[in-house]
Amino acid sequence: MKRLVGAIVSLAFFAAAIAAAEPAVKVVGYDNVHIRATDPARAADWYVKVLGATPSPTGAPQVTFGPVLIAIVKTAQTQPSVSSVIDHIGLSFPNIETKIKEFEARGAKVLNPPRDAPGIFKYAYIEDPWGVKIELVEDPDLSGFHQVHLRVRDPEATLKWYQENFGGERTKLRDRVDGVRYSRIWLFAAPAGNDTVAGSAERAIQNIALRVSDVDAAVSALKAKGVKVISEPRSLNTVRYAFVEDPNGVRVELIQRSNP
């Protein structure tokens, strides 16, 4: 009898541990980033002509790099992504030595020339005309949109928060750089140190977006865990979406598409 009771208690404990390990929301993919520009149409054209993005077939101010969308919203005044909690996005190209010269000739500001990260890959930084910092990388395993890089007080706690709330694959790039992956897209978090970092809502990179199967259920689950909800679920054409915010001030869109 004691053995039976012990087995039941053990099974209950194991089941509780599994439940605790389940994320609040199971994200089905990485979807987009929103960036802010004074002239969204011109910015979309720049991303197409300079960085090789695919234009929107609808003519909307948005572009894609493979399955990832960059939506461009209008702002009266640009605020750079540097010194904000979403520091930069990353794009992967086969030869950034050649690419960076092309980009600079077409209006990109080179922040750091190409250099090697031993055991990882070659990388460089540019900035678009509206203040979006972009890391160029040579990753043969993933071309196009590659990553979103946060700057936060506690990187480990941040990555843990994302995995606990949205799932994803917690792993290391080249066994060296810790991150969480959603549909092969990396989310990294670097230490901010003593620097003051602004929330993302008013900066050049406004938010990240994760795709879910049910926005309403996702928001309810996140509310139950005390996550800050910025905008309740609403619909726009074939899209239903809502916005929440992480503890660092990163605006996160949850998006449900009728035609994924």
Q: Is the pLDDT of residue 18 over 50?
A: no
How many H-runs (helices) and E-runs (strands) does the chain carry? 5, 16
pLDDT (tens digit per residue) in 212-249: 999 999 999 999 999 999 999 999 999 999 999 999 99
- The Cα–Cα gap between 199 and 150 comes to 11
Question: Residue 245 has which token pair?
Answer: 């915010």
* pTM of the shown model: 0.90
pLDDT value for 20: 45
Question: Which pair of tokens denotes residue 76?
Answer: 């009266």
Tokens for 200?
């993302």
> In the chain, what is the greatest distance between 2 CA atoms, to the nearest angstrom?
79
Q: Average model confidence (pLDDT) for the chain?
A: 92
- Collapsed DSSP state (helix, strand, coil) of residue 158: helix
Q: Which residues contact 73 (CB under 8 A, 6 or more apart)?
A: 34, 35, 36, 37, 40, 61, 206
Residue spans of alpha helices (H) in the chain: 2-21, 40-51, 96-105, 155-166, 215-224
Give pLDDT tens digits for 151-193.
999 999 999 999 999 999 999 999 999 999 999 999 999 999 8
Which letter does DSSP use for residue 84 in this model? B
Who's near 151: CB < 8 A, 6+ residues apart? Answer: 84, 85, 87, 189, 190, 191, 192, 195, 197
Task: Of 142, 137, 169, 158, give the one whose Cα is nearest residue 252.
Answer: 158
> Going by DSSP bridges, is the β-strand pair 185-191/177-182 parallel, antiparallel, or unpaired?
antiparallel
Instruction: Work out the pLDDT band at 10, boundaries 50, 70, 90.
Output: very low
Q: Which numeric CATH code is attached to 27-257?
A: 3.10.180.10
What does the pLDDT look like over 126-155, one tens digit per residue? 999 999 999 999 999 999 999 999 999 999
